[in-house]
Each structure stands twice: as C-alpha cells, then as structure tokens.
Amino acid sequence: MDWQIVLVSLCLAAAAVYLGRRAWRTWSHRGAGCGGGCGCSASATPKNNDGLIGVDELTARLRSRR
C-alpha cells in the first residue's frame, strides 16, 4: 500500500475519533463549554433572569465616549 494512502487513512481515522469524542461529550453534557459543572461563576444566578440587557448597560458605552 502506498504511504500516502496510509497517511490519509490515519488522518481520517483521527478526525472521526475526534468528532465522535466531541459529539459524545456534547450529548453527555461533559463538554468544554461552561455548563456550571466546573465550579466557575456560571453556576451563580444572573442578575437579570429575563435575558434582556438593561438600559443602564446599553447606554454605559455611549456615556463613556462623551
């Protein structure tokens, strides 16, 4: 077998293993993204629970430019 075919096969196998691992970690909720399981501040409750940005925060940048 040609060495290039072996190299391409190894790259494809590594990519398939990587994608499979990432999919498994995503589906099992063990991904690298912050889901609050790492003990960081994501587990704390946010100040604004409705998901909207307050007017104070929106206009703060405009006030700092003046």
Q: Which of the four pLDDT bands, split at 50, 70 and 90, describes residue 53?
A: confident
pLDDT for 36 equals: 55
Evaluate if pTM is beyond 0.75: no
For the cut 70, the answer to whether the pLDDT of residue 10 exceeds it is yes
pLDDT for 45 equals: 55
Instruction: Give tens-digit pLDDT for 25-50.
Output: 888 765 455 655 555 655 555 555 67
Q: What are the distances in angstroms from CA 16 to CA 5, 23, 26, 57?
A: 16, 10, 15, 44
Q: What are the distances in angstroms from CA 30 to CA 14, 22, 38?
A: 20, 9, 10
Q: Who contacts 42 (Cβ-Cβ below 8 Å, separation ≥6)?
A: 34, 35, 36
Helices and strands (H, E) in the chain, number of each type = 2, 0
